A and B are shown apart, each in its own frame.
Chain A
Amino acid sequence: MQKKFEQVLMPVATKLANNVVLRSLRDGFLIITPLIIVTSIFLLIGNFPIPGWADFWSGVLGPKWSEWFSAVSDSVFSFTGLLACFGISYAYGKNRGLQAVHASAVAIVSFLIMTPTTVKVGKTTLGAVQTIYLGPNGIFLGLFTALVSVELYRFAIKRNWTIKMPDGVPPAVSESFDALLPSAFVILFFFLIRIIFSLTEFNTAYNFIYTMLQAPLKNVGNSLPSVLLYNFLASLLWCFGINGPTITNSVWSPIFFVLTQDNLKAFQSGAKLPHIYTQQFIDIFTTYGGGGSTLSLLIVMLFVCKSKRIKELGKLAIVPGIFGINEPIIFGLPVVLNPIIAIPFIIVPVLNTLISGFVFSMHWIPYTNGVMLPWTTPPLISGWLSTGSWTGSVLQLFELILGVLLYYPFVKMLDKQYLNEESAAAELDDVDIDFSDI
């Protein structure tokens, strides 16, 4: 059974893991993730989920205090499309063996070429860029621009369309001239694309990509089956030793990124939160303590198991586990290639997804606000901060306990096996090998 699964899964997983475009998308989003986390903290301070918070600080710091914080959060959340273009083009350029800085610079310029740069206010036309084009709605345009521009840039570089400088010219100068013709090629291409779109009913590339791709994909991604499949595959792959989320994220991350940014923008402006299935929903309401919801597993190990090995590992891994680090369990228990633990390791996140999806769709808990918390934020705290409501923590606690119940029979089975081994070894002679006097 395990072998069969592997024969089917391995080639797909290997292909996905090694695909340079998918890898670059994932890496590209990772480049901008630290910025999102940092600015999220500013956003959270400006909108802390305690009644009277804003009024209290207005009294202390004056009415403009929230603007100070939103200036910081705006600097990232209103430009996620542009930043995605930057991150992805950098990662893709690097993975394609180009000078990533040059590739990325050309991609950003290409993105701006396709962005409308005038705004009509009444009868006057102002030279300005609306952030709607550069923010969450522009993420897919940023993504495609990054991939296409880097690919074109590489095409030119590979054909040696460069101006060769004589020896002795400083590298910075010769590199700059190396980039000249390839940059011209890319810019010319996007110049033509802009003209072509202006002749169609879409008017801009932004409108085309948003209507034809981003909005439909968002609808497909923002659904319970999509998140169920995501969590099922992520856990299943871990059971074979493959880092599941790395594979699943390469497919889903652009969609979840857009959904999360939509909620974040809405939260920032005080509008109604649009989506249930955001990255936060997945990170905060489907698994606790890392992939497979191993915090529930750890609780069983710590409080119910009798074998020395499992108890000791439970003690060592509980603190990292609370903060979402489950490496000691994945490899030490182990979860990897362990058919007994594989069953709850897959079922628990899937069941959590179903329950959380139901609870959110019934509006028993406010939708997640899109604020990206550091991934080490422990459950209960994360449930409250991400929804602004204590009911978020209650759902987490419920699912954590449910996970304990589901893991219990399987971990006990493993515990029994380990206990037998330990007592068999103890019967022979001492289990411990004494290295002290050898």
Chain B
Amino acid sequence: MKVIILLDQIQSGLGGKEKADTALGGKKLAMGAADTIDKTLKKQDSSVMATFFCGTEYYEQNKEEVTGKITRMCQKMQPDILLVGPTYDYADFARMACEIGYAVETNSDIPVVAMVAKEKNSDTVAQFKDKLNIIKMPKKGGTGLADSIDHGIELCNKKVKKEDTDDFVKQYCF
């Protein structure tokens, strides 16, 4: 399974809140938080083929352009799945992840999984939970991170293999 991961500037290791103006970019590498996920993926003959990153403020100001470019890049690179997040309880990142994830799943043939914490994100979760598979994860510094990453990867696997995900989604998603 080849995975593309979308992260914000903090999770991709490009700085803190002050770097929210980081422009959309990507590397054919597992950056920052994607590296943690890549390690688990590699154990099952899968890998992160690329990390897309975008500062949350940059996204806010260029929503249409960023969403369009990511959708087209996904179509061009043809990953098996796009994973948006883990966003923890970073509200701006969670909104960006869900909006882009929904756009990619709707406008391309690439399946999408999101990972979001419920804290600070109740509006975003309410808006997208019926449109997108959003794995429940802990807030920043909360308990249960490793488990939620396992759930995220398992759902990616199921979606790529086109298995039935109903029960799994009911149990681990919003």
A residues apposed to B, CB below 8 Å: 2-3, 6, 10, 13-14, 17, 240-243, 246, 309, 312-313, 316-317, 320, 325, 327-328, 331-334, 336-338, 421-422, 425, 428-429, 431-433, 435, 438
Contact = CB atoms under 8 A, between A and B. Distances in A.
A312 B141 contact: no
B157 to A, nearest CB: 19
Interface of B: 10-16, 18-19, 24-33, 35-36, 50, 52, 69, 72-73, 76-77, 88, 138, 140-147, 149
A13 B88 CA distance: 18
A333 B143 contact: no
Nearest to B73: A438
A13 B146 CA distance: 14
Contacts of B31: 309
B143 A10 contact: yes
Nearest to A337: B36
A95 to B, nearest CB: 15
A240 B27 contact: no
Contact of B13 (A241, A332, A425): A332
Given A241-B138, A422-B29, 13 more contacts: A309-B29, A316-B14, A327-B10, A328-B15, A332-B10, A334-B36, A337-B146, A337-B149, A425-B29, A429-B28, A431-B28, A435-B26, A438-B69
Contact of A316 (B19, B69, B73, B138): B19
Contacts of A320: 16, 18
A242 B141 contact: yes
Given A425-B28, A435-B69, A438-B72, A243 B140 contact: yes
A331 B11 contact: yes
Contacts of B16: 316-317, 320, 325, 327-328
Contact of A242 (B24, B73, B145, B147): B145
A328 B13 contact: yes
Contacts of A241: 138, 141-142, 145-146
